[in-house]
Amino acid sequence: MNEMERIGLFLDARERRVYHQEELLQSLKGLSLATVRVNYPGIDKSNYITDFIGKVICDEISIFHKKQIIFSEEYKNEEGYIGHFIFNVDYKVIKKAMINLEENHILGRCVDLDVYYLDKNERFGLEEIKGASRSDLNLPPRKCFICNEEARVCSRAQSHTIEEIKKFFEDKFNQYEEWNSKRQQLSYELSQYALKAMIEEVSTMPSFGLVSPGTKGSHKDMDFYTFMDSSFAIAPFLKEMAEAGYTYHDEKEVFQAIRHIGIRCEESMFKATKGVNTHKGMIFLLGIVVTATAKALYEGDSFERIEDIIKNMCSEILDDFKEVNNKKSLTHGEKLYKEYGFTGIRGEVKAGIPVVFKEVFAEFLSSPLKGHELFAQTLLELMARVEDSTIVHRQSIDKLKEIQQEAKIILENGGFNSPSGRKMAFDFEEKCIKENVSPGGSADLLALIIFLSEIYNKYYK
């Protein structure tokens, strides 16, 4: 096939794409369409690097805009790697998001992220496809990725050689590979620290009605091995959440991304436990904190900044309760909110989990206790302070207040720092089992504190 025939095929592919874009918008009734194309020079658009870049950018859009996407497809033709995404959001919002990706993602300068919408032609009364531009957002034209001239000026003037442009692509590819390797390693480490924290939490004895290696506690449908199966099923998804947090995206966008990962994580947990809810609250809480930690490390922020990132991520989390009066089926948390006004763990994360960051964590780090005794002592500290929705759900508000008071008395007697406090703690364990008490919310916070101690010692000490 000679060059003219190849150019003809390329132009045909472009024409088919334009027609397909309009067809997608009209048939799917979306408000906007974003199309991904790789900016590679010449008519040989598809190779390992360009296909890799196209896939990475499409994955980025899918992860961070999943809630807004009503249709997507990816394919290759003579134009190279192509991605189409139909959104249920106004084109100006999507154009702003695509510009953000172009300007902040390592590979963003290597792609065109064109945004289209349907507009009514006043003369003929028909809808026609239009492209959104930077001027629609009062932004200056896109710059050339090699020099500082306007990209369209350089393109028309052919200011740069094909070799220069290909070199830019190779450099960006290598830069991304180096960055991604770092992200993968960090995300794996965070997920393993989280896994360690979950295992150490369920290994704590005494645990005051919780499952431990020596007892099922107040539970009949789960044991220590159920928790082991669940923990290992959860860990890979915590790695995904950490990956999502290691990014230029703002905290709210990150939170929306990890909520979808969390849904898949819950499904994996239930599959591993044959339908038993071992870690649903843990997935929510630990997932947020693992993600916030990854975000802080990406930004080069201090340990203290993690608390603020959590607040920003979850600033709108109580919106989940807005429709509670209209729902027929409610979660445990929604029932407690409706009956008692409990905001539970949602309220905690919205506030940045102050019971951990402002109170118990410092005590944990400075405690002379080690291992089981440190964890059990910390669990008592949490039980004395936390409005544990698991206790309320299984028992009542009055039982929660009773348990809080008993935990305080044990701590006032030294807890695991004194023989009398230690004996009181083991007696308390028997009472909790006998009365069907299980401080599940406090257990989740214990695992969180163990995780934070690991990352504090690893990355911040």
Confidence label for 124 from pLDDT (cuts 50, 70 and 90): low
- The three-class DSSP label of residue 387 is coil
- Predicted pLDDT of residue 123: 60
Q: What's the rounded Cα separation, in Å, for the pair 47 and 54?
A: 11
Look at 6 and 407; give whichever has higher pLDDT.
407
The predicted structure's pLDDT at residue 326: 74
Q: CA-CA distance, 195 to 193, in Å (whole number)?
A: 5
Q: What does the mean pLDDT of the chain come to? A: 93
- Label residue 264 by pLDDT band (50, 70, 90): very high
Mean pLDDT of 124-140: 86
Residues 6+ apart with CB under 8 A from 199: 228, 231
Q: Note the pLDDT tens digit of each residue in 201-259.
A: 999 999 999 999 999 999 999 999 999 999 999 999 999 999 999 999 999 999 999 99
In percent, the amount of the chain with pLDDT more than 90 equals 79
* Cβ-based neighbour number of residue 255 at 10 Å: 25
Least confident of 89-103, 338-352, 406-420: 338-352
- The residue to which tokens 């005051």 are assigned: 208
| Pick from 45, 44, 39, 35: nearest CA to 80 | 45
| Degrees to nearest 5, angle at CA 378 with 373 and 384 | 130
Query: Cα dihedral sign for 366, 369, 371, 372?
Result: negative
Backbone angles phi, psi at 215, to 5 degrees: -160, 155
CA distance 212 to 227: 9
Q: What's the pTM?
A: 0.92
Q: How far apart are CA 313 and CA 324, in angstroms?
A: 22
Query: What's the chain's length in residues?
Result: 461
pLDDT average, residue stretch 386-398: 90
Average pLDDT over residues 333-349: 79
Residue 271, pLDDT score: 98
Question: pLDDT at position 122, please?
Answer: 62
Q: How confident is the model at residue 364, as a pLDDT?
A: 97
146 vs 135, higher pLDDT: 135
Q: Report the pLDDT averaged over residues 355-384.
A: 97
Averaged pLDDT, 268-288: 97
Model confidence pLDDT, tens digit, residues 17-70: 999 999 999 999 889 999 999 999 888 899 999 999 999 999 999 999 999 999
Confidence at residue 350, expressed as pLDDT on a 0 to 100 scale: 93
